[in-house]
Structure 1
Amino acid sequence: MSAQPQRKNNPDATRASLLDCAAQIIVEDGMAALTLDNVARRARVSKGGLLHHYPGKEALVSGLFEQVVAWFDGRIDALIDPDKTVPARFSRAYLGVIASIDMTVPEEKRLAVLMLMLSSDPHFCARWNQWVEARLHQHRLTDRSAAARTLRLAADGLWLSDLGGGPDSSPSARRHILQFLESLVTAQAVAGGLANKGNP
């Protein structure tokens, strides 16, 4: 009697599927709907199988948070200007990532997941702030200006507007906002350059 072929396990794929299903539940129904039973059902795994990878809801949510932040971080790295002297270098990329998000694309909805997580749990807010502070320290020579702060705050506003489908989320409004913000940064860079030339 020949042995039955065994299906190869792929733990990485299973974990990714569980996190994707958790993200879908948050986007569609909010954080309150995120339960281990709901995630296991959507991912088509047993609850025991889920617990094998994430031993509780806290571990699952923490894994999802880390995944979304890593995704956002990667988008920043892909967009950031290679010139390390560009004013507001990180803040421009931060704004660019958020401004380019298409909430009709499932993968892009990770930004909505992150926003919902931050708005519902001070613990995740603190972890997000640590990520931002680490990035700002990395780019402390270019991103401590008022213009850089303005870009980041504007990006957060666009993020919230997108999440709620606000009137400023239209493509035309977005273009005008981005053009205006870019002009602010350019003007400050020019003014700073002139001020530096005037110093002995």
Structure 2
Amino acid sequence: MTPTKPHRKNNPAALRLKLLDCAAKLVVDHGLQSLTLESVAREAGVSKGGLLHHYNGKDALIGGLFDMVVEWFDTQVDAAMDRDETRPARFSKAYLQVIANMDMSVPAEKHLSVLILMLSSDPHFCARWNAWVDERLQQHSQTDAAPMARTLRLAADGLWLSDLGGGPDSDPSIRRAILQFLETIDPGHTTKRPHPGKGGQ
């Protein structure tokens, strides 16, 4: 009796992740315009038909890539958030920390570069990103509605813009110094304006 060869189980989830990782690498190394079904399939070592079995076109593949990097960012922010659910600007400070601590020498953190490139190239992705931010702000409306919390998020967005243009503030040591300075600001502080007729004249 001829022994049968062991049947290797397929792992669709692992293959989908591999395809998205290969897509992310292509975007980081060569830009979003380099992302084609053929190039991703070649990078992943699968046939184009095998790729299409999981993503039925380029739009589906790019959409999956966007979902992956946003989920990654969301997880990083959750991990960075202070455990005190009443601490002022807890979400905004975590948002800033994730971006300011980005180290492009760490492969996993190149996800942020993918996100930056996608947001800068397509209004559709900007709208989806804004929807994610809005949802998180609603979740943390009790702690992150003050002007200083918004300032921290805008500072983080400015660091992203600097990265996109390869600006001088992209240096890791400078980013750490910026983060340390911003973390000294009391996010719960608000400046009271003098009431008309009570010393404000």
Identity rate, percent: 65
Task: Give the Å deviation of 1:36.
Answer: 0.2
Question: 1:94-173 maps to which residues of 2 (within 5 A)?
Answer: 94-173=95-174
Work out the CA distance in 1 between the residues paired with 2:135 and 2:148: 19
What is aligned with 2:39? 38
Task: Give the Å deviation of 1:163.
Answer: 3.9
Task: Give the Å deviation of 1:101.
Answer: 1.2
What is aligned with 2:197? none
Which runs of 5 or more residues in structure 1 are unaligned?
A: 196-200
Work out the CA distance in 2 between the residues paired with 1:191 and 1:68: 34
Work out the CA distance in 2 between the residues paired with 1:172 and 1:158: 13
What is aligned with 1:70? 71
Instruction: Note closer, same or farther for the CA distance 1:131–1:191 as it changes in structure 2 (3 Å cut).
Output: closer
Deviations 1:110-167 (A, max 9, x none): 0000111111111111110000000000111111111111111110111232344321
Question: Which has the larger helix fraction?
Answer: 1
- Whichever residue aligns with residue 43 of structure 1, its letter is A
What is aligned with 1:198? none
2:101–2:175 Cα contact (<8 Å) kept: no
Aligned residues: 192
1:89–1:143 Cα contact (<8 Å) kept: yes
- Whichever residue aligns with residue 36 of structure 1, its letter is L
Task: Give the Å deviation of 1:179.
Answer: 2.8
- Whichever residue aligns with residue 67 of structure 2, its letter is E
- Whichever residue aligns with residue 188 of structure 2, its letter is A
Instruction: Note closer, same or farther for the CA distance 1:176–1:156 as it changes in structure 2 (3 Å cut).
Output: same
1:23–1:113 Cα contact (<8 Å) kept: yes
Work out the CA distance in 1 between the residues paired with 2:160 and 2:154: 10
What is aligned with 1:183? 184
2:24–2:111 Cα contact (<8 Å) kept: yes
1:103–1:162 Cα contact (<8 Å) kept: no
Work out the CA distance in 2 between the residues paired with 1:119 and 1:129: 13
How high is the TM-score relative to the length of structure 1?
0.90
Q: What secondary structure, in the 3-state scheme, does the structure 2 residue paired with 1:62 have?
A: helix
Structure 1 stretches of at least 4 aligned residues deviating more than 4 Å after TM superposition: 190-193
Work out the CA distance in 2 between the residues paired with 1:191 and 1:161: 28
- Whichever residue aligns with residue 189 of structure 1, its letter is G
Task: Give the Å deviation of 1:89.
Answer: 1.1
- Whichever residue aligns with residue 51 of structure 1, its letter is L
Task: Give the Å deviation of 1:191.
Answer: 4.7
1:91–1:143 Cα contact (<8 Å) kept: yes
What is aligned with 1:86? 87
Task: Give the Å deviation of 1:192.
Answer: 6.4
Q: What secondary structure, in the 3-state scheme, does the structure 2 residue paired with 1:189 have?
A: coil
How high is the TM-score relative to the length of structure 2?
0.89
